[in-house]
A = this chain, B = another copy of it.
């Protein structure tokens, strides 16, 4: 007689999900705040009570806490309808906590500030080729840009609640960049290099900066900003390498060690062109920026992604045949890979991000054709292929968004802060 789950391990985060008395309020704060964040019109306390099943009394008490904590504000222009006492609309506060989103990439540094409502309040970009710059230097410049953004946020009355840094590479739990090939970084300990800077000072024991892969943060940005609905999608970022962020059931899937999304080496031609990874016929060799540029007869394999994408888009718009062919071929390869992923994960949406966002008009038809041809269930349920809403610099915005989103999902952390 086989015995199952005899010795399953409990994930044991010390309390392992036990619900204490105080958790009630903690959980309901999150429920109410999420409700306010998710509504398309400012909801009333009564509406929230009806929607959640909580009592109006409870909702009022919870909302009082949220307003006192500067997470929620009452909307003066209350939307009225019919008879009865007018409801007072509740909206996320636009003068409370905000998130700082940062990005280091091959040819630019970005810092942006996103408030609780999801509005991008500031967006600073510094263009500069960072490949010859040492990681320490690059991070020092980034810190300066971050300080500038922070000052702008403070002038607006905002309080920065944390920061997220997007990096084009593999990042481990501790914020160490294991490998960022296009930047030439290897084992760069970002928190250590930023020690002393304001960014690195822990607040309430919480490290204020999380470092993450740009594809992951871009996918989060798309999750927050995208049209309602898509709860499971693949966000493909076309750069020199090709990365993917995977959102499943409304949550970013990071993988067993946080290294998911490596789609660049999906085998689209197993007996095809050799790849630096040791395999053959990897997607990157057919739909990577270098491959597209070469096929279009353009130099500059090492160009920054947005420059390359712009150049290709210009040529395509002008009707350059070599470019059009190159994009069609790239789209086909991308479609093969995407179809494989969709077959495996049964996704309903694929988002073209990074450089692909700009090239979507030309890539999309071929990608869609391959998907329709190869995805078994496509006949029953169509797959949407669309460009990223946030476009190129979605990683920084997504990172900033993830900071404030964390507050929406667990407001107690913000409300009980000591500072």
Contact = CB atoms under 8 A, between A and B. Distances in A.
A170 B348 CA distance: 17
A124 interface: no
A318 interface: no
Contact of A21 (B24, B221, B348, B373): B24
Nearest to A232: B256
B35 A340 contact: no
A268 B253 CA distance: 25
Interface residues on A, range: 35 or more
A176 to B, nearest CB: 12
A329 to B, nearest CB: 13
Interface in A1-56: 1-12, 14-21, 23-24, 27-28, 31, 34-35, 37-40, 51-54
Given A5-B225, A119-B3, A221-B4, A258 B346 contact: yes
Given A16-B31, A279-B374, A8 B270 contact: no
A390 interface: yes
B5 A52 contact: no
Contacts of A255: 232, 345-347
A376 interface: yes
A55 to B, nearest CB: 9
B266 A269 contact: no
A111 interface: no
Interface in A208-261: 221, 224-225, 227-229, 231-232, 244, 246, 248-250, 253-261
A231 to B, nearest CB: 7
Given A20-B53, A31-B16, A232-B255, A1 B224 contact: no
B118 A6 contact: yes
A313 interface: no
Interface of A: 1-12, 14-21, 23-24, 27-28, 31, 34-35, 37-40, 51-54, 114, 117-121, 170, 178, 221, 224-225, 227-229, 231-232, 244, 246, 248-250, 253-263, 265-271, 277-279, 336, 339-341, 343-348, 373-374, 376-377, 380-381, 389-390, 397, 401, 405
9 contacts: A1-B119, A2-B119, A5-B405, A12-B51, A18-B52, A261-B346, A266-B344, A267-B267, A277-B376
